[in-house]
Copies of this chain bind each other. A is one copy, B any other.
Amino acid sequence: MNCPIPISQYSQILLAHGGGGKLTQELVDKLFRPAFHNPALAAGHDGALITLPQQRMAFTTDSYVIHPLFFPGGDIGSLSVYGTVNDLAMCGAKPLYLSAGFILEEGLMMETLWKVVLSMKDACERVGVQLVTGDTKVVNQGKGDGIFINTAGVGIMEHDEMIGPDQILPGDCILINGDIGRHGMAVMAEREGLQFESSIQSDAAPLHGLVQDLIQAGIEIHCLRDLTRGGLGGAVHELAQTRGLEFYLEQKNILVRQDVQGACEILGLEPLQVANEGRLIVIVPEKDKDRAVSVMQKNEMGTEARMIGHVTQGEKPRVLISSLIGTTRILDRPSGEPLPRIC
């Protein structure tokens, strides 16, 4: 699909595209509404009127400021859909509706915006969610960075399971759906212009289907957490602190692709702290762990699913990790910023 706003007329975003006048209307009518067409959006209202199939719902939000906008395996558009869909999935919810708030920098190429919008549209179709309400603002050149996107999401809870950090118990097993570190390293390699033998592709993908499979199989899920900013290490740290328990990881079971490991070494990064966008941990009681791994492996998002550790009462809330040679160390949480603007 070609960009529907004639290039000869306005090839770049102007401040006026955010001013609420003719150009704002043109952007909405020619670019956003046709891409995401659905009844709620077509109504041209200040918000979307929707009827949920039930009253118990999940609500979440995330802003996306990733730089660069396009990277191997994805772009800010698909990321802004999958990221918020995954946050809903982590609550155990079925994602249904998204909102989108665009903050555009004056001078952005119209073609770039169109590419991003098409990518969001494709991602929405893949997941089966509708983008029902939106907003566009334009900031002066030098006061933004191309495109920032916020998406908020609404999903429904189709089950009575309680899923959350407070459900985690000592003895629970920690499962993961694949290798780690690819998203962060794909973005960093693109940003820094690093060349590797094979290009590292981001793992960005929607995880709601995998979660639905686990729920439908009757797995007793205690907690789900996607491994975005802060990576696997950040996620288990946060859960250890929130729940007040000790988390124990086994390095030998944690998959890191060789090219990702190499890129991390070049940049002085720890793969455990690198962001992923298609990885989650699933925390389940011991009795359900084998069945859960088997369900995950049958889903395309979990072919390499495995158990990587467990939860214990422990001495205090912290994360321990056993090395490849069998020694155990405390995994510290980075205070710094290993990878800025990775999502």
Q: Which of A149-157, A247-255, A291-299, A314-322 contacts B (4 or more CB under 8 A)?
A: A149-157
Q: Given known contacts A59-B47, A152-B61, is B97 in contact with A338 (CB within 8 Å)?
A: no
Interface flags, A115-141, vs B, CB<8A=1, else 0: 000000000000000001111011110
Q: Given known contacts A43-B164, A46-B87, A59-B132, is B234 in contact with A20 (CB within 8 Å)?
A: yes
Are A21 and B51 in touch, CB under 8 angstroms?
no
Q: Given known contacts A229-B24, A337-B19, A338-B19, is B133 in contact with A61 (CB within 8 Å)?
A: yes
Interface flags, A205-240, vs B, CB<8A=1, else 0: 000000000000000000011101111001000100
Residues of B within 8 A of A52 (CB): 52, 55-57
Residues of B within 8 A of A229 (CB): 18-20, 24
The number of chain A residues with a CB under 8 A from chain B is: 91
Q: Given known contacts A103-B63, A142-B142, A234-B20, is B50 in contact with A57 (CB within 8 Å)?
A: yes
Query: How far does the Cβ of A338 sit from chain B's closest Cβ, in whole Å?
Result: 7
Residues of B within 8 A of A91 (CB): 45-47, 49
Q: With the chains together, A119 CA to B28 CA distance in Å?
A: 31
Residues of B within 8 A of A50 (CB): 56-59
User: Out of B43, B49, B86, B93, which one reaches A56, CB within 8 Å?
Assistant: B49
| Chain copies in the assembled complex | 2
Residues of B within 8 A of A87 (CB): 46-47
Residues of B within 8 A of A102 (CB): 63
Question: Max chain B CB contacts within 10 Å: which of A44, A336, A337?
Answer: A337
Query: How far does the Cβ of A94 sit from chain B's closest Cβ, in whole Å?
Result: 12
Residues of chain A from 51 to 85 with CB closer than 8 A to chain B in the complex: 51-65, 67
Residues of B within 8 A of A140 (CB): 340-341
Are B337 and A150 in touch, CB under 8 angstroms?
no
Residues of B within 8 A of A54 (CB): 55
